Amino acid sequence: MTAAASALPQLPKAPTGIDGLDEITNGGLPAGRPTLICGSAGCGKTLMSVEFLVRGIQEFDEPGVLMAFEETADELAANVTSLGFDLKQLVADKKLRLDHVHVDRSEIEETGEYDLEGLFIRLGYAIDSIGAKRVVLDTIESLFSGFTNQAILRSEIRRLFRWLKDKGVTTIITAERGDGSLTRQGLEEYVSDCVILLDNRVINQITTRRLRIVKYRGSTHGTNEYPYLITEDGISVLPVTSLKLEHEVSNEVVSTGVPGLDEMFARRGLYRGSSTLITGTAGTAKTTLAAAFAAESCRRGERCVYFAFEESPQQLMRNMLSVGLDLHPYVAQGLLHIESSRPTLNGLEQHLVTIHKLIGQYQPRTVIIDPISNLVSVGSITEVRGMLTRLIDYLKVQGITALFTALVSGSHSNLEMTEEGVSSLVDTWLHVRDLEGVGERNRGVSILKARGMAHSNQVREFLVTDAGIRLLDVIIGPGGIVTGASRHTQFLQEQAASLAAQQEIERRERELERKRRVLEATIANLRTEFESVEEELRRTNLEEERQHHELLQARQRIAAGSNAHPGAHSAAAPENS
């Protein structure tokens, strides 16, 4: 709203300073104009208007006048003390004027024509005496109980609204809700420029307060019903669904606190600022996984707030100690805050506010809610989903890494359900389940989705040991991945098989050795045989040579007739043959 705002003058607005209300109204109530707040008894109409005045004084330096028709100044002051509003001090500082208009039917007699100029003068005097910019008329319809002439009253109230506009004061008028109309007199809503309807609903014994802007002349506004709360700090409206999906994202990855689980993600962990849901049936170590995540956050030196809706902090810490997760030092260092409460303690909105408040107080980087499924006992599924949407939005905008656990019922867990329907809201979804075999239960964890990250498709068996959670290696048996006793059997079988194989190898080697020896012996035999044959052959050859030689000599002797000795030059001849 920058270019448009400068081009055309926007309707001036008076910020209320009330948490969330200014967001719904795009900046506040119409400045210098009357606004009607209507609702049934116990909605906090008076409180909202008083807060409007007090915040106006404290935050925007706009003095205010409170004209109360039902409560006296002392009663009003006492009623809002619990919220930390010191009306008497504000009155003493001349920032606030309280005027109790007491109208008692029994004291009033009508004797002719009249108007309400007395009221105008009182109000005008109060406004002028402190330079008020804000006015609250708390239940103007009380006038109708004091005066009988409806025609006069109606025209005078119209005139009053006109007069307040001319005075340029931002006014809140409160009114009781009537049958079938917003107010009993059916008048104020038409003369007001803005109408805020407060509603107090009890569903399943739990009260939820809701606020809706019925009309706002000359301005856009949120049209939904927004839950609001009366907290120790005043009214808090949760305009949460007005938040947009435009939060910053981080590319940083944080560990889950379970090494084996990190391995299942391509980037070895979860994105910072993402939200993760762990679903599982009872006793599948959801809390242990959550606590491991919390401990890991603390190990990095980042603060973590753990909302436990099932266990007390002591119980949680004791139980986690049994699996080797010592949370005590983190609690002592102030890194970990465990907030335990029964889900039924509060309505959903109250929970949301508590969560908001603690997050504001501790500024954690990690938030764990264990489990969200318990909240269903407080509200209907749509309400819980609405609340969780708002919560997840809030956490994302804050860049807080969040982890929720949820109990799913039944062994044939229909996964798409996760009753709260938050699965589409979270970025990562882990499912832990019982892998039930013959006579035993084992735990398996799988990743159903991980936005923006490749991940393992396997169901990994894990053990909860006294040193934390340990993921076991995947063993694939004849019928797929095996777990538990089958895993053990498979392991033994494999061991036996490998032993047998080893023995087989050794046997073969021995066999080979034997063969080799036999063959070597044969070779030796043959060689000896060969040698003897060779020797024989040589000897024969030599013999033949000698005979041949002698024959030759004999021939020479015969030829020469002389009996000569054999020559040296022919001695080498037998060598060559």
CB closer to other proteins out of 99 and 199: 99
Which residues 6+ apart lie within 8 Å of 52 measured at CB?
Answer: 16, 17, 18, 29, 64, 134, 136, 172
Q: What string marks each residue from 169 to 188 as x (binds other proteins by CB under 8 A) or -?
A: --------------------
Scanning 109-117, 228-236, 290-298, 358-366 for contacts with other proteins by CB under 8 A, the matching segment is 109-117
The footprint of other proteins on residues 122-141 (CB under 8 A) is 122, 124-126
The answer to whether residues 95 and 129 touch, using CB atoms and an 8 Å cutoff, is no
Among 107, 248, 466, 575, binds other proteins (CB under 8 A): 107
CB closer to other proteins out of 92 and 417: 92
CB closer to other proteins out of 69 and 226: 69
Which residues 6+ apart lie within 8 Å of 506 measured at CB?
Answer: none
Q: What is the dihedral of CA 263, 265, 269, 270, to 10 degrees?
A: -160
> Residue 432 interacts with other proteins (CB under 8 A)?
no
The answer to whether residues 137 and 170 touch, using CB atoms and an 8 Å cutoff, is no
CB closer to other proteins out of 42 and 118: 118
User: Contacts by 519-524 with C-beta closer than 8 Å and gap 24+?
Assistant: none
> Residue 70 interacts with other proteins (CB under 8 A)?
no
> Residue 110 interacts with other proteins (CB under 8 A)?
yes
Among 84, 118, 218, 329, binds other proteins (CB under 8 A): 118
Q: Say how far apart CA 15 and CA 28 lie, in whole Å.
A: 4
> Residue 75 interacts with other proteins (CB under 8 A)?
no
Q: How many residues bind other proteins (CB under 8 A)?
A: 25
CB of 4: closest distance to other proteins in angstroms? 44
Q: What backbone torsions phi and psi does residue 425 show, to the nearest 5 degrees?
A: -90, -30
The answer to whether residues 169 and 127 touch, using CB atoms and an 8 Å cutoff, is yes
CB of 101: closest distance to other proteins in angstroms? 6
Looking up tokens 């819980």, which residue turns up?
A: 384
- Residue 183: both structure tokens together: 């107010």
Among 59, 93, 115, 494, binds other proteins (CB under 8 A): 115
CB of 107: closest distance to other proteins in angstroms? 5
CB closer to other proteins out of 114 and 530: 114
Scanning 114-122, 320-328, 339-347, 537-545 for contacts with other proteins by CB under 8 A, the matching segment is 114-122
> Residue 114 interacts with other proteins (CB under 8 A)?
yes
> Residue 111 interacts with other proteins (CB under 8 A)?
yes
The footprint of other proteins on residues 141-160 (CB under 8 A) is 143, 146-147
The footprint of other proteins on residues 459-518 (CB under 8 A) is none
- Residue 350: both structure tokens together: 């109250």
CB of 102: closest distance to other proteins in angstroms? 6
The footprint of other proteins on residues 83-102 (CB under 8 A) is 99, 101-102
> Residue 167 interacts with other proteins (CB under 8 A)?
no
Burial class (CB within 10 angstroms; exposed 0-12, middle 13-18, buried 19+) of 44:
buried
Closest CA to 287 of 410, 482, 443: 443
What Å distances lie between residue 382 and 5, 332, 413, CA to CA?
Answer: 37, 38, 21
CB of 34: closest distance to other proteins in angstroms? 19
> Residue 121 interacts with other proteins (CB under 8 A)?
yes
Which residues 6+ apart lie within 8 Å of 329 measured at CB?
Answer: none
Q: Say how far apart CA 281 and CA 372 lie, in whole Å.
A: 13
Scanning 113-121, 223-231, 250-258, 404-412 for contacts with other proteins by CB under 8 A, the matching segment is 113-121
SS3 487: helix
H-helix segments, 147-302: 150-167, 188-191, 259-263, 286-299
Q: Say how far apart CA 443 and CA 464 lie, in whole Å.
A: 9
Chain residues in the site for other proteins (CB under 8 A): 99, 101-103, 107-119, 121-122, 124-126, 143, 146-147
